[in-house]
Amino acid sequence: MQLLDANDQFPDVSKANADGLLAMGGDLSVSRLIEAYKKGIFPWFDNEGPILWWSPDPRFVLFPNKLKVSKSMHQIIRNGRFTVTENKKFHDVITACSEVERDGQASSWITSTMVQAYCKLHEQGLAKSVEVWLEDMLVGGLYGIDLGNGVFCGESMFSKVSNASKLGFITFVNKSSYTLIDCQVYTKHLASLGAEEMSRDEFLLYLT
């Protein structure tokens, strides 16, 4: 694992360890984050440690045409109870994601520094949010990175009402023209929606 100084480039992703950890240190500048995502690397750390950079193998991805929508979710979509928007409340969405309590995590990996960094990406049109509304209340959403290469790199989601984030994700994927949705690492939730594992080498081909 390489220790990055401010001006260091990332090592080749083949240098990542078995868990996908590639490097530590550096910063969360816009230029650094753009470089990372273009190379299939993302930050994931907590308030108590340094910035950690990851490039797991295999990668967990979703092809939009393989999205699985259950009968119960079809009913929720048809019900029309929720409204889904994009890029209306990015800061509110990433803040809500940072406040979610997750099993096995004492603190959120979406630190205040992360929030500031991704809001800057959003201001430059490189980060997107999806909002799910129940009347005028924000009850779910997700955010991620879009570098214009046909791949959306999903980062996190939240729900304050059952199925809200799932509805937002399904609506977003169905409306999108992406070739691939990067889900980064395996979760049972995303597997139920059709996400699958892909070798890192194959994933990197979609970023070029």
Question: Which letter does DSSP use for residue 27 in this model?
Answer: -
> Could you tell me the CA-to-CA distances from 50 to 11, 33, 97, 190, 202 in Å, in that order?
17, 15, 21, 28, 29
- CATH 3.40.630.70 for the 60-205 domain, yes or no: yes
pLDDT by position in tens, the chain (length 208): 789 987 899 999 999 999 999 999 999 999 999 999 999 999 998 776 799 999 999 999 999 999 999 999 999 999 999 999 999 999 999 999 999 875 544 446 798 999 999 999 999 999 999 999 999 999 999 999 999 999 999 999 999 999 999 999 999 999 999 999 999 999 999 999 999 999 999 999 999 8
CA distances from 10 to 2, 21, 52, 68, 114 (A): 8, 12, 12, 35, 19
Which residues of the chain form CATH 3.40.630.70? 60-205
> Which secondary structure element, helix H or strand E, spans residue 75, and what is its range?
helix 71-79
Fold of 2-56: Alpha-Beta Plaits (3.30.70)
Does the pTM surpass 0.85? The reply is yes
**What three-state secondary structure class fits 127?**
strand
